[in-house]
Amino acid sequence: MKLAKLLTADQIILDMRAVAHWPAITELVDHLVETRRLPQAQREEILSALKAREEQVSTGIGSGVAIPHAFSDDIEDVVAVFGRSREGIDFEAIDNAPVHLIILFIVPRKDYHLHLRTLAAIAKMFTNGEVRRQLVKAETRDEILAILDSRPSRAPAPEA
């Protein structure tokens, strides 16, 4: 799976306004509503599911990256949004470092295994320091999509 397959240019925020954990998640969800990737009627349910997930443990995985995610009974396909903050967001990350890159995704509850594959693919891509550096420096949404599309983001299949 390529992360770029989940995103289009309008699902990328180049310069997030939020500077704190929860406002950043709200900004990303609101962007999905504004771009009609998520119906307004589902906004509160999605925010509630994301809040429940974040209350378990922050999805700030370290190295300036956060991967907030949740399930929904009301969507058919994975919905994702990418946000970047040049200044950094206090995301209560495990390394206490500011977060600069956020990929938020929502998975249909019926596709639990897709959730695991998506999370693994995103985490694998963002462990690459060069990818993170390029994403921070990218000037346009198309550059970000090209960076996300240029790297395989799927873990190798287990050997039989």
Q: What is the pLDDT of residues 108-124, one digit of tens each?
A: 988 877 777 778 888 88
Rg (CA), the chain: 15
Contacts of 119 (CB under 8 A, 6+ apart): 67, 69
Question: Does residue 115 have an active-site annotation?
Answer: no
Closest by Cα among 36, 28, 110, 23 to 74: 110
pTM: predicted TM-score of the whole model, two decimal places? 0.88
What is the full per-residue pLDDT of the chain (160 aa) written as tens digits?
567 788 999 999 999 999 999 999 999 999 999 999 999 999 999 999 999 999 998 899 999 999 999 999 989 888 999 999 999 999 999 999 999 999 999 999 888 777 777 788 888 888 889 999 999 999 999 999 999 888 544 433 333 3
Residues found in the chain: 160
Query: Which of 69, 100, 113, 115 is flagged as catalytic?
Result: 69
At the topology level, CATH places domain 3-150 in Mannitol-specific EII; Chain A (3.40.930)
Give the residue extent of every domain in the chain. Answer: 3-150
